[in-house]
Amino acid sequence: MMSQIRSWFGGWWRGGAAVVEPATQRDAARLAQLHGASFHRGWGEAEFETMLSERNTLVHRLRQGRKIIGFAVSRLAADEAEILSIAVAADQRGRGLSHNLLLTHLGHLAGRGVRTIFLEVEENNQPARRLYERAGFAVVGRRERYYREANGEQLNALLMRRDLS
């Protein structure tokens, strides 16, 4: 009994369990902040507001307590989708949260009739590649010099695919 109380209290103290849920227009500023902290060219609040209003875009937030600590964004077309971006706050990484976020997001895509999912990932981004491979994605192509770093360096992207059917 005491260990259950400690476990509950510890979860409450840290903000509780992380929850994946649909993002809303009110989340746009925080999603833009997370994106900007995670990627060289961050998307602005207006870009998130637009995506959140589009019927062919699915946006989930990862919330712990009252704080949004991550998100996933996909665009749908017929029975296919492309994951446009996934991010988790730097201080929350390494806890398996991105894996849970991704799998929940994929489940919602499947629920909308999506059968095939694509994404691009920077070739040298080992943590992201491990995340996607662990979730069943496989490399199906390569895009030369797809990403541009702040210093002007151009990096290759891998095109990955996962079938949900």
Distance CA 114, CA 98 (A): 20
Nearest to 123 by CA among 160, 78, 88: 160
Note the pLDDT of residue 15: 60
pLDDT at 41 over 90: no
Selection from 66-80, 118-132, 146-160 with the highest mean pLDDT: 66-80
pLDDT in the model for residue 9: 41
pLDDT value at 11 more than 70: no
**Contact yes or no for 164/109 (Cβ under 8 A):** yes
159, 85, 137, 75: which is closest to 109 by C-alpha?
75
Question: Is the Cα dihedral 112, 114, 115, 120 positive or negative?
Answer: negative
Determine the average pLDDT of the residues in 68-81: 97
pTM of the model: 0.85
Residues 15-38 have a mean pLDDT of: 92
What pLDDT sits at residue 14? 52
In this structure, are residues 116 and 162 in contact, taking their beta carbons and an 8 Å threshold?
Answer: yes
Higher-pLDDT residue of 68 and 13 is 68
| Residues of the chain above pLDDT 90, percent | 69
Residue 21 has pLDDT above 70, yes or no: yes
